[in-house]
C-alpha cells in the first residue's frame, strides 16, 4: 500500500511545510553561542564555507567564513538562512508507520527497521532480488553515497540502485567522459579569473550558482568577454558582452555554427588537434553544413549572433566554458554537451591557467555523489560495474565473491517505469523527492501507488514520503560528519554541529541497521562515518576518482583537497589535463561529431508554446528544506509563469492574471508574470513546488539514451487565462502547493 | 572621518543579481537582529532584471540629521550616520521624507526611525558589514580604495547632484571612468528607454 493514509490537507496540517521565521532562541542577542562550527552550506554544488553558531546543542545563527578560499564569506540567501531548517517544527523526530485513515503514527526503531527488513526479504523472495529498488541522492555525503552503493550490492543484493544526480549531472558527465575520459570540472574556479573569453551555455548562474557570479564579474574586470546563451535574459545575461537568446533545444545550432565560422576564419589550433586529439575529421565534416544561416534556423537566433560568438571565442588567448542544466536537460543532453566541448578542444585552450571548462554541478554533493557507487552502472572510485577488473577489486574491498555483485541496473526514470509496469514492487528512497523532481508527476504518482512497500528516510515529510509505508527519521547535514566534493572537484569536510533531535538518527546508522537485519551486519560494522571514509579511500584507490591520499586532517589543513589524489604525499589535482594529457588510454581527447535533432516533443498547432523549467534563487531543488524557511518563501512565494508581452497580448493575458499552463500530460494554474526578458515563443515556470503547482505536471518523460537525464527544458504547452482556482489544494499555504 | 583600517563601502549596481542575500543577512546583524535595514529595489521587472541594493549612503552632512527636530540622529567619528537615538526620537518622520536616497524607515511598533548603520558593531571593530561580506556578486564591497582601483574598471565616486543640491556621501558608487558626479534627475513616464532588454527586439538582429 503506497498511498497517503489521509488527505493531503490533513498531512499538510500535521507535517507541513510550515514556515520557520525565527531562530530557536528568538531574535534577541542575549543568547551567546557557546561555540562556532566552521562547515559548509548543505545546499548547492558550490558548497560555500559557512560558520554555524551553536548554543546548547542547537544551531542559533550563522556567521560568514571569510577565510574559506572558494567563497571568502560570500553566500546566497539560501546559505544565509539555511540554519532555519534546524529546530524546525516540521522536523521528523522518530520513525513513523503509515496507518490507513489515521495518518503516520510514531513507532519504535526496532519495529520500523524490522518491518523494512522483512518487507525487503518478502518482496525479494516473491519476485526476485531486483524487484526491490533503492534511490539515493546527491545531497548525501561521500560516505553515505558510498554506503548506499555497497548497501544495494552487498546487503539488499539488488542491481536496481540509482540516485537523483540522474536528474542533474549525467549528461555533462557522459560527455566529459567520452571526450576527456574523466567526469569532473577540468579547472578550479580561480582559472575563470584569467580567461579572456567566457562562454556560459544554459546556466542561470545568478540564481543557481550565485557565488560564481563574482568570478564572472571579476573576469570581466580583468578584460574577459562574456557570452551567455539562455532563452531567458537572466541577471548575468544583462551584463554579457553577447547575449544569445537561444531557442530551447537549439543549442547545437550555435555550437556547430561557431565551429563552422572558426574553421572558416582559421581560429582552430591544428597543432594541438594533431598532437592531442582524435576524431577531428568527422567533426570538421559534420559542421560544414552549419553555416551561420543554417545554424541560425536551428538556434532560433539571428545568424549575426553566431558569427559574433565565434569572433569572441575563436581568437581569444585564453578561454573558459561553463555549462549547466540548460543544455543538459534534454533528450539530446549528452550531444549538446559534446558539441560545446568540441569548441574547447578545437581551440586547444585547456589544461593551463585561464584555459578550460567546467560543468556547473547543481546539487550539494553532485560531484562526489556520482563517484562513490550509488549510480546503477558504477562502483566506487567512478569505476565501471561491468568491468571485470573493477568488479574484482571492489569485491576484494567488500570481502564478497565478485559474482555476488549485481550487474548494471536500471537508472532513476526506468526504475519508476518498472514500478509502473509492476516489475519492481518495493522501494527505499533517501535524500530525494521524486513527486516534485521527476517529470510527468501524474505518472510518478501512479507508480508510487502501485508499490507493495515503500520506505523513505527523511528529516521532513516530503511530498514523496507521504506515499511511504515506513518513514525513518534521518539526519540533516549538520547533524553528522562527513565529506562532499564541490563543483571544482575539491573534497571538503562537513563538521557535525549538533545531534539529531529526540529519536531521529544519523542516516548511515539507519542504513547499517537495515543491513544487519538483512544478514550483512559483518560488512557494515562501522563505528563512525570516518570508518566509512577510510574504506571509501581504499575502494577508490586506483580508480578515476581516486581519494586514497585524502584524509579529513588534510582537508582541514589545506582547505580542501582536489581528486585525483592517489597518495598521502600527492598535492591533489586542481587542474586536469595539463600538457594536453587526457585520461583516455591513448592520452588524447576524443572529438565527438554531433548532429542536431529535434526534441522529444516539439510544438504543434494544439500545443504551440515551448515550456522550459528551472529554478529561482531563494528555493533549492524540490523545496523540501527551503519551502519550510519563511524568509526564503517570502522572497518568491509561489511559482509564476513568465511570458513575453507579445505572446501575452495574443492570449489576452495581463500581468498577475491566473493562467493554466497545460501539456498533454498535465497542467498548473499560476499567476502570469509578463516580462520582456523571455523569448516570445517560450514560457517559463520554476519547478520547486508540489501538487497543482508542480511544473513537472507538464514535462515530458523522455530521457537521453546515453545519460538517461529527463528532458525538463522543452515540452509543448498551451496557456489560457482562467478564473482564480478554488479547490482544496489551492487554499493550502503557498509553500504547500496553494496559490494566491 | 574614516575607519582606522582604511576600509570603505562601495556599491556597483551593474553587478547586482537581485538575490537578496544582503537583505537576508542584514537581519542577522546583532545591532538590529530580526529587522533588515537594506532595501533591494527591483527596477521595472516587466522590462529588465535590473535590481539595486540601497544601503544608507552616510552623507557627510546628513540631511536626515539636519531636518530632525529632536536632534536624534548622530554621526560617529568615523562618519557613520546612526539610527535615531531612542530617548530622543519623536517618530515625526521628517528624516524619512527628507532623505534623497529613501533610506530611513519609521517603525510604528517601536515609534522610532531605524536605518542602516553600516553594521557599526562590526565595522567599528575592524570587521566588514554583513551585506558586503555575503554579497555573492561583489555589488556590495567593503574594502580599501586602493584595492578597488586595482581590481575594478570603473571609478569610485561619492558626489551626487540632486536638483541644485550637491550631496557628498561616505559610501562610494562605481561608475564609468568618464563620470565625475552622479546627476540625479527625475524622469517622467515614457522618457525612459525600456526596450534595451526586450528579447523580442534582440531576436530581430541588426
Q: By C-alpha distance, which of B44, B42, B13, B15 is closest to B194?
A: B44
Cell numbers 551567546 label which residue?
A32
B160 versus A1: which is more confidently predicted?
B160
- Cβ pair B136:A677 closer than 8 A: no
User: Considering only alpha carbons, which residue of chain B is nearest residue A633?
Assistant: B24
Q: Would you place residue B190 in the very low, low, confident or very high pLDDT band (cuts 50, 70, 90)?
A: low
- Domains detected in chain B: 7-203 (3.30.70.20)
Q: What is the mean pLDDT of residues B103-119?
A: 94
Copy the grid coordinates of residue B166: 550637491
Average pLDDT taken over every residue of chain B: 92
Label the pairing between strands B112-114 and A225-229: unpaired
- Cβ pair A27:B151 closer than 8 A: no
Residue A340, Cα to own-chain centre: how many angstroms? 20
Paired strand residues for A716: A610
Interface of A with B in 558-597 (CB under 8 A): none
Interface test with B, best of A81, A676, A678, A679 (most B CBs within 10 A): A676
Looking at domain A96-168+370-579, does it have CATH number 3.40.47.10? no
User: Considering only alpha carbons, which residue of chain A is nearest residue B14?
Assistant: A239
Question: Tell me: the pLDDT tens digits for B1-42?
Answer: 688 889 999 999 999 999 999 999 999 988 888 999 999 988
- Cβ pair B51:A76 closer than 8 A: no
Domain ranges of chain A: 21-85, 96-168+370-579, 172-359, 609-736
Question: Tell me: the pLDDT tens digits for B128-146?
Answer: 999 999 999 999 999 999 9
**Chain A touched by B198 (CB under 8 Å):** yes
- Cβ pair A214:B206 closer than 8 A: no
Q: What is the ipTM of this complex?
A: 0.96
> Which CATH number does the domain A172-359 belong to among 3.40.630.10, 3.40.228.10, 3.40.50.720, 3.50.50.60?
3.40.228.10
Query: Is A96-168+370-579's fold the same as A609-736's?
Result: no
Dist. CA A103–CA A11, nearest whole Å: 7
**C-alpha distance across the termini of chain A, in Å:** 34
Paired strand residues for B111: none
Cell numbers 567520452 label which residue?
A178
Looking at domain A609-736, does it have CATH number 2.40.40.20? yes
- Cβ pair A676:B14 closer than 8 A: no
For B136, the closest of A74, A221, A305 (CB atoms) is A74
Dist. CA A104–CA A16, nearest whole Å: 13
Tell me the mean pLDDT per 10 residues along chain A, length 740: 91 98 91 96 98 97 97 98 97 98 98 98 98 98 98 98 97 98 98 98 98 98 98 96 98 98 98 98 98 98 98 98 98 98 98 98 95 97 97 98 98 98 98 97 98 98 98 98 98 98 98 98 98 98 97 98 98 98 98 98 98 98 98 98 98 98 98 98 98 98 98 98 96 98
* Nearest-neighbour CA in chain A from B66: distance (Å): 32
CATH topology of domain A21-85: Phosphorylase Kinase; domain 1 (3.30.200)
- Cβ pair A304:B205 closer than 8 A: yes
For B17, the closest of A206, A305, A618 (CB atoms) is A206
For A646, the closest of B27, B153, B200 (CB atoms) is B200
**pLDDT at site B191:** 65
- Cβ pair B45:A217 closer than 8 A: no
SS3 sequence, A239-254? CCCEEECCCCCCHHHH
Give the CA angle between residues A184, A379, A492 to the nearest 5°: 45
B197 contact residues in A (CB cutoff 8 A): 233, 238, 676-677
**pLDDT at site A1:** 60
Dist. CA A57–CA A86, nearest whole Å: 11
Amino acid at each position: 500500500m503506497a498511498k497517503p493514509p489521509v488527505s493531503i490537507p490533513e498531512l499538510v496540517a500535521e507535517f507541513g511545510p510550515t514556515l520557520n521565521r525565527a531562530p530557536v532562541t528568538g531574535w534577541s542577542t542575549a543568547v551567546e553561542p557557546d561555540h562556532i562550527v566552521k562547515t559548509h552550506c548543505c545546499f548547492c554544488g558550490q558548497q560555500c564555507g559557512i560558520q554555524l553558531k551553536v548554543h546548547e546543542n542547537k544551531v542559533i545563527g550563522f556567521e560568514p567564513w571569510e577565510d574559506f578560499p572558494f567563497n571568502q564569506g560570500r553566500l546566497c540567501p539560501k546559505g544565509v538562512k539555511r540554519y532555519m531548517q534546524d529546530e524546525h517544527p516540521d522536523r521528523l523526530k522518530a520513525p513513523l508507520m503509515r496507518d490507513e485513515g489515521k495518518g503516520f503514527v510514531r513507532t519504535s526503531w526496532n519495529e520500523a527497521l524490522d518491518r523494512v527488513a522483512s518487507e525487503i526479504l518478502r518482496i525479494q523472495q516473491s519476485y526476485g532480488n531486483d524487484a526491490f529498488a533503492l534511490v539515493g541522492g546527491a545531497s548525501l555525503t561521500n560516505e553515505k553515497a558510498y554506503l548506499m552503493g555497497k548497501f544495494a550490492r552487498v546487503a539488499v543484493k539488488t542491481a536496481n540502485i540509482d540516485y537523483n544526480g540522474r536528474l542533474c549531472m549525467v549528461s555533462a558527465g557522459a560527455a566529459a567522459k567520452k571526450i576527456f575520459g574523466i567526469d569532473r570540472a577540468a579547472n578550479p574556479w580561480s582559472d575563470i579569473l584569467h580567461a579572456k573569453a567566457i562562454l556560459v551555455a544554459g546556466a542561470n548562474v545568478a540564481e543557481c550558482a550565485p557565488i560564481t557570479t563574482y568570478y564572472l564579474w571579476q573576469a570581466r574586470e580583468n578584460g574577459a568577454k562574456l557570452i551567455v546563451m539562455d532563452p531567458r535574459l537572466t541577471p548575468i545575461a544583462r551584463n554579457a558582452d553577447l547575449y544569445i537568446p537561444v531557442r530551447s533545444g537549439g543549442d547545437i545550432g550555435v555550437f556547430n555554427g561557431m565551429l563552422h565560422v572558426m574553421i572558416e576564419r582559421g581560429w582552430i589550433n591544428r597543432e594541438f588537434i594533431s598532437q592531442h586529439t582524435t576524431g577531428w575529421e568527422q567533426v570538421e565534416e559534420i559542421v560544414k553544413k552549419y553555416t551561420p544561416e543554417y545554424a541560425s534556423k536551428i538556434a532560433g537566433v539571428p545568424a549575426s549572433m553566431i558569427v559574433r560568438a565565434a569572433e569572441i571565442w575563436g581568437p581569444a588567448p585564453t578561454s573558459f566554458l561553463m555549462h549547466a542544466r540548460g543544455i543538459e536537460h534534454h533528450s539530446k543532453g549528452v550531444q549538446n554537451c559534446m558539441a560545446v566541448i568540441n569548441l574547447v578542444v578545437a581551440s586547444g585552450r585547456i589544461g593551463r591557467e585561464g584555459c578550460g571548462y567546467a560543468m556547473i554541478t547543481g546539487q550539494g554533493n553532485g560531484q562526489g555523489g556520482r563517484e562513490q557507487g550509488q549510480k546503477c552502472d558504477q562502483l566506487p572510485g567512478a569505476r565501471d560495474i561491468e568491468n571485470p577488473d573493477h568488479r574484482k577489486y571492489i569485491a576484494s574491498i567488500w570481502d564478497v565473491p565478485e559474482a555476488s555483485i549485481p550487474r548494471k541496473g536500471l537508472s532513476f526514470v526506468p526504475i519508476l517505469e518498472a514500478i509502473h509496469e509492476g516489475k519492481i514492487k518495493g522501494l527505499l528512497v533517501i535524500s530525494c523527492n521524486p513527486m516534485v523532481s521527476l517529470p510527468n508527476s501524474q505518472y510518478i504518482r501512479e507508480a508510487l501507488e502501485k508499490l507493495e512497500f515503500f520506505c523513505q528516510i527523511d528529516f521532513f515529510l516530503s511530498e514523496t514520503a507521504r506515499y511511504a509505508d515506513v518513514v525513518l527519521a534521518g539526519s540533516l547535514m549538520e547533524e553528522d560528519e562527513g565529506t562532499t566534493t564541490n563543483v571544482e572537484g575539491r573534497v571538503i569536510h562537513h563538521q557535525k554541529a549538533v545531534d539529531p533531535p529526540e529519536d531521529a538518527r544519523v542516516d548511515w546508522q539507519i542504513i547499517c541497521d537495515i543491513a544487519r537485519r538483512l544478514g550483512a551486519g559483518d560488512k557494515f560494522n562501522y563505528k563512525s562515518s570516518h570508518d566509512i571514509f577510510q574504506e571509501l579511500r581504499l575502494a577508490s584507490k586506483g580508480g578515476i576518482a581516486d581519494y586514497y591520499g585524502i584524509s579529513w586532517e588534510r582537508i582541514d589543513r589545506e582547505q580542501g583537497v582536489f581528486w585525483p589524489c592517489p597518495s598521502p604525499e600527492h598535492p591533489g589535482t586542481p587542474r586536469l589535463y595539463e600538457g594536453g594529457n587526457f585520461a583516455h588510454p591513448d592520452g588524447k581527447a576524443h572529438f565527438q561529431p554531433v548532429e542536431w535533432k529535434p526534441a522529444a516533443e516539439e510544438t504543434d498547432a494544439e500545443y504551440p508554446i515551448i515550456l522550459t523549467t528551472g529554478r529561482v534563487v531563494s528555493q533549492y531543488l524540490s523545496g523540501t528544506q527551503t519551502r519550510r524557511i519563511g524568509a526564503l518563501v517570502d522572497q518568491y512565494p509561489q511559482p509564476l509563469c513568465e511570458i513575453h508581452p507579445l505572446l501575452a497580448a495574443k492570449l489576452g493575458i495581463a500581468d498577475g492574471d491566473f493562467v493554466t499552463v497545460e501539456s498533454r500530460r498535465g497542467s498548473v494554474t499560476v499567476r502570469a508574470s509578463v516580462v520582456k526578458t523571455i523569448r516570445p515563443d517560450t514560457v517559463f515556470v520554476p519547478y520547486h513546488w508540489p501538487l497543482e503547482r508542480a511544473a513537472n505536471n507538464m514535462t515530458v518523460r523522455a530521457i537521453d539514451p546515453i545519460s538517461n537525464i529527463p528532458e525538463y527544458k522543452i515540452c509543448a504547452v498551451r496557456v489560457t487565462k482562467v478564473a482564480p482556482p478554488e479547490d482544496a489544494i489551492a487554499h493550502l499555504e503557498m509553500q504547500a502547493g496553494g496559490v494566491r | 572621518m574614516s575607519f582606522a583600517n582604511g576600509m570603505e563601502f562601495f556599491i556597483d549596481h551593474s553587478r547586482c543579481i537581485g538575490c537578496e542575500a544582503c537583505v537576508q543577512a542584514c537581519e542577522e546583524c546583532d545591532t538590529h537582529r530580526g529587522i533588515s535595514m537594506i532595501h533591494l529595489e527591483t527596477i521595472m521587472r516587466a522590462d529588465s532584471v535590473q535590481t539595486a541594493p540601497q544601503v544608507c549612503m552616510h552623507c557627510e552632512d546628513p540631511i536626515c540629521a539636519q531636518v530632525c527636530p529632536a536632534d536624534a540622529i548622530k554621526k560617529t567619528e568615523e562618519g557613520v550616520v546612526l539610527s535615531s537615538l531612542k530617548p530622543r526620537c519623536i517618530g515625526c518622520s521628517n528624516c524619512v521624507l527628507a532623505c534623497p536616497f529613501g533610506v530611513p524607515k519609521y517603525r510604528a511598533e517601536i515609534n522610532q526611525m531605524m536605518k542602516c548603520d553600516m553594521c557599526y558593531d562590526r565595522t567599528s571593530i575592524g570587521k566588514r558589514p554583513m551585506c558586503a561580506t555575503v554579497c555573492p556578486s561583489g555589488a556590495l564591497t567593503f574594502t580599501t580604495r586602493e584595492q578597488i582601483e586595482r581590481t575594478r574598471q570603473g571609478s569610485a565616486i561619492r558626489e551626487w547632484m540632486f536638483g541644485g543640491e550637491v550631496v557628498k556621501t561616505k559610501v562610494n558608487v562605481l561608475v564609468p571612468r568618464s563620470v565625475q558626479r552622479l546627476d540625479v534627475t527625475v524622469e517622467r513616464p515614457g522618457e525612459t528607454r525600456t526596450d534595451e532588454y526586450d528579447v523580442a527586439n534582440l531576436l530581430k538582429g541588426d
